[in-house]
Amino acid sequence: MFESLLIANRGEIACRIIRTARRMGIRTVAVHSRVDRRALHVAMADEAIEIGAAPARLSYLDPARILQAAKASGAQAIHPGYGFLSENAGFAEGCAKAGVVFVGPPAAAIRAMGTKDSARRLMQLAGVAVVPGYDGAVQDPETLAQEAQRIGYPVLIKAVAGGGGKGMRRVNDAGGFSEALAGARREASAFFGDDRVLIEKYVASPRHIEVQIFGDAAGNIVHLFERDCSLQRRHQKVIEEAPAPGMIDDFRAFVCDAAVAAARVVHYQGAGTVEFIADASQGLRIDRVWFLEMNTRLQVEHPVTEAVTGLDLVEWQLRVAAGQRLPLLQAEIKLQGHAIEARLYAEDPARDFLPSPGRIQVLRWPQREGLRIDAGVENGGDVSAHYDPTIAKIIAHGADRDEARSRLVAALTQLRVAGPASNAEFLREIAASPIFASGQFDTHTIARDFAACHAVQKIDASHVRLGALGLFRETWLRLHVPGRALQAGWKDAPGDASMSIIANDQSFSCRIVHDGTPSSAIAHYEGASQMADFLEGETRGNIVIAAGCVFVFDDCGVVRMERASPGLSGDHSADGDGAVRAPMHGKLTAVFVKPGEKIARGQPIAIVEAMKMEHVLAAPVAGVVAEATAAGAQIAMGALVARIEFSEPQTEMDNG
Ligand code: ADP
């Protein structure tokens, strides 16, 4: 086995690969771009090498920089994860030339399956049914239109070099063909530099079913059963599961055999996935399922297969890459229970799922039996606008589908994430729906039945009252820093104040009556009132104060509230000595920084929990952490949590 492994990726998959490598006693080398210096995968690896600027083509997508890092670190193998260079045959060859093992299939297999037309032709040779269609070399619009007519509408135009749903257009009738063709071609040449297309019959009631396969250098090939990935948004997977709901023995045998046959034609080695599309309008039938494509890498959704087989697919990949035989024979691979994965993204359902990058201000993972969370960021970390907006994958495993499903719903209900917008609530709605429970869905289900849950969350009067109390408390704590004079404009006298709150771009005015302390405050709004002891009655974590905002979590998601004019604001710790002190008595539940670490102004330093409320302490200045207290302790008001030494404004811009 290798002694050292470079992971040419980032985010959750890099972290996941590091975990397995570490368990196997392999030294891990992370690579990262300039904006990823503080990323989780960098912190987790034994060694980290900065390889370039933020845009992926200047870092994660640049084979030369990655090979250079491998050389510099003495890494014996490179795991590409998925995306980036994972299906780049040239990179696989580059690794071989540089004497580093590429953890993936042979370059020839990547190439053979790399374009949809060549994959279709190979599969036909192997006797695997492909979707009725046209994948010929003649590409003039007249020929293509004739072929579409012959196949019969509706048809799907696909970029031959496509991926990720790009360059794909559904056409319902001959009238729409030429415009759709032009659109698909434009997108195909923009994304893949290749405007060739193929045409497929558009499958009615489509279900996406894929089979995990594995091969080794000795020519052994096995399958690890199927996954269902039919819950998609715009051809992108949202929720995946294993096994497929409603699966029947002959259908499973049919697709698994076809997948193994597909792998065999290309002398496959390592992990791969053979994707099929089934017309499920009459249930799963072996005469209504066709090969779609083969992905010559590990898939995002591989954890559901790991859950139901009890195997570690990354370990298998490393073993195969090191020249070992597959650890198990086909007959030894057993399917147990059911697993479902939901992809948690920093994206805004209310804004058409636009990515919503930014700093994670609240992140609390559910703690449940049968739950696995593959995260790429941690609390206080950034979701960068440069890369995909994955926060984590949440995988629930149970004895059967119902148990896995209810565990997933419970997990999504317990999850607390805020800062960037996320699709958490959208995932919960789907997972908890009767449609999902029934197992009767296809790739159109999300668009058809879940359009309504993209709405902006409604603010009700109780949100406003809770928000006002939380913000009052936040301001009070910020101004009452031990050892510092109270800010001008604030009197610790009983009062009757009005507070303006902004939530979802609307503003609300709430009256607060208090005797000078937050615990005495009562918020009056729309004829009802709420006392400050609301916190006692709240389930832990329903209200979180972080970064000067109050986040209220409830059944419908999260509402973020901030003061309209922070009239009483003042940066409580920006008092020049770089000390970050506890603003109240409480428990230091988390400390995010270590001595020696470089930090930016505003970066979360620690969380103090008191009165069932969390208070996130942010760095008052940019600099280097000189000292930091360990998490877990009870601390007194005014106690030092961390000290930051100022540093010159630096680096981010120096190197361009
Ligand atoms: P990409 O490589 O761009 O992801 P795929 O060929 O894997 O494209 O297809 C992505 C998704 O598009 C599938 O999971 C399915 O939902 C839909 N799709 C693909 N081909 C068809 C088809 N012939 N009929 C209906 N839906 C299809």
pLDDT tens figures, 415-434: 999 989 999 999 999 999 99
Predicted local confidence at residue 477, as pLDDT: 76
Does ligand 1 have an atom closer than 6 angstroms to the CB of 489? no
What pLDDT does 55 receive? 94
User: Of all protein residues, whose CA lies closest to atom 17 belonging to ligand 1?
Assistant: 235
Q: Residue 611: its pLDDT value, please?
A: 64
pLDDT of residue 491: 56
End-to-end CA distance of the chain: 39
pLDDT, average across residues 221-235: 96
Average pLDDT, integer, range 520-527: 90
- d(CA 35, ligand 1 centre) in Å: 34
CB of 103 within 8 A of CB of 261?
A: no
CA angle 249/253/256 to nearest 5° reads 135
Cβ of residue 327 lying under 6 Å from some atom of ligand 1: no
Q: How far apart are CA 440 and CA 70, in angstroms?
A: 47
Q: Is the CB of 157 under 6 A from ligand 1?
A: no
pTM, whole model, 2 decimals?
A: 0.84
Least confident of 112-121, 291-300, 491-500, 626-635: 491-500
By most ligand atoms within 8 Å of CB, the mutation choice from 87, 208, 233 for ligand 1 is: 208
**HSE, side-chain direction, 13 A CA sphere, residue 652:** 11
Note the pLDDT of residue 570.
Answer: 32
pLDDT at 648 over 50: no
Pairwise CA distance, residues 34 & 453, whole Å: 37
Pocket test for ligand 1, best of 155, 171, 228, 235 (most atoms within 8 A of CB): 235
CA dihedral 418, 421, 422, 424 (to 10 degrees): 60
The pLDDT assigned to 644 comes to 85
Query: Quick one: 637 exposed, middle or buried, by C-beta within 10 A (0-12, 13-18, 19+)?
Result: middle
**Residues 32, 300, 160, CA angle at the centre, nearest 5°?**
95
638 within ligand 1 shell (Cβ under 6 A): no
Least confident of 265-269, 270-274, 451-455, 504-508: 451-455
| 218 CA → ligand 1 middle, Å | 32
122, 112 Cβ separation under 8 angstroms? yes
Q: Which atom of ligand 1 is nearest to the CA of 201?
A: 23
Stronger pLDDT, 335 or 534, i.e. the higher one: 335
> Is the pLDDT confidence value at 362 over 70?
yes
Give the pLDDT of residue 151: 97
Give distance in angstroms: CA of 301 to centre of ligand 1.
Answer: 16
Q: Is 297 a catalytic residue?
A: yes
Specify the ligand 1 atom closest to the Cα of 200. Answer: 23
d(CA 120, ligand 1 centre) in Å = 13
Q: Which atom of ligand 1 is nearest to the CA of 168?
A: 3
For residue 105, whether the previous peptide bond is cis, meaning omega lies within 30 degrees of 0, is no
Domains parsed from the chain with CATH numbers: 4-103 (3.40.50.20), 106-131+205-335 (3.30.470.20), 137-201 (3.30.1490.20), 337-455 (3.30.470.20), 461-563 (no CATH), 579-646 (2.40.50.100)
Q: What is the pLDDT of residue 500?
A: 84
Judge if the beta carbon of residue 277 lies within 6 A of ligand 1: yes
Residue 283 has pLDDT above 60, yes or no: yes
Give the residue with greater pLDDT, 98 vs 635. Answer: 98
Mean pLDDT for the stretch of residues 534-552: 71
**Residue 349 DSSP code:** G
Please indicate whether residue 168 or residue 618 has the higher confidence score (pLDDT): 168
d(CA 593, CA 627) in angstroms, rounded, equals 9
Task: Give 476's pLDDT tier (boundaries 50, 70, 90).
Answer: confident
- Residue 403 in this model has a pLDDT that exceeds 80: yes
Q: Looking up tokens 């902004």, which residue turns up?
A: 502
CA 165 to centroid of ligand 1, rounded, Å: 7
Task: State which H helix or E strand residue 402 sits in.
Answer: helix 401-414
**Which amino acid residue places its CA nearest to atom 1 of ligand 1?**
163
CA atoms within 13 A on the CB side of 158: 25
Q: Give the lowest-confidence range in 27-41, 77-91, 272-286, 580-594.
A: 580-594
pLDDT in tens, 245-263: 999 999 999 999 999 999 9
Ligand 1 atom closest to the CA of 165, numbered from 1:
3
pLDDT of residue 502: 87
Q: Which of 27, 111, 233, 297 is catalytic?
A: 297
Cβ neighbour number for residue 333 with a 10 Å cutoff: 17
Atom of ligand 1 nearest to the CA of 237: 14
Range of lowest pLDDT (74-78, 536-540, 588-592): 536-540
Closest to 596 (Cα-Cα) out of 625, 629, 570, 639: 625
**Model confidence band, residue 621 (pLDDT cutoffs 50, 70, 90):** confident
Pairing, β 557-563 against β 549-554: antiparallel
Testing ligand 1's pocket by substitution, the residue of 120, 135, 155, 168 carrying the most ligand atoms inside 8 A of its CB is: 168
Best CA proximity match to 583, nearest among 552, 545, 555, 554 = 545
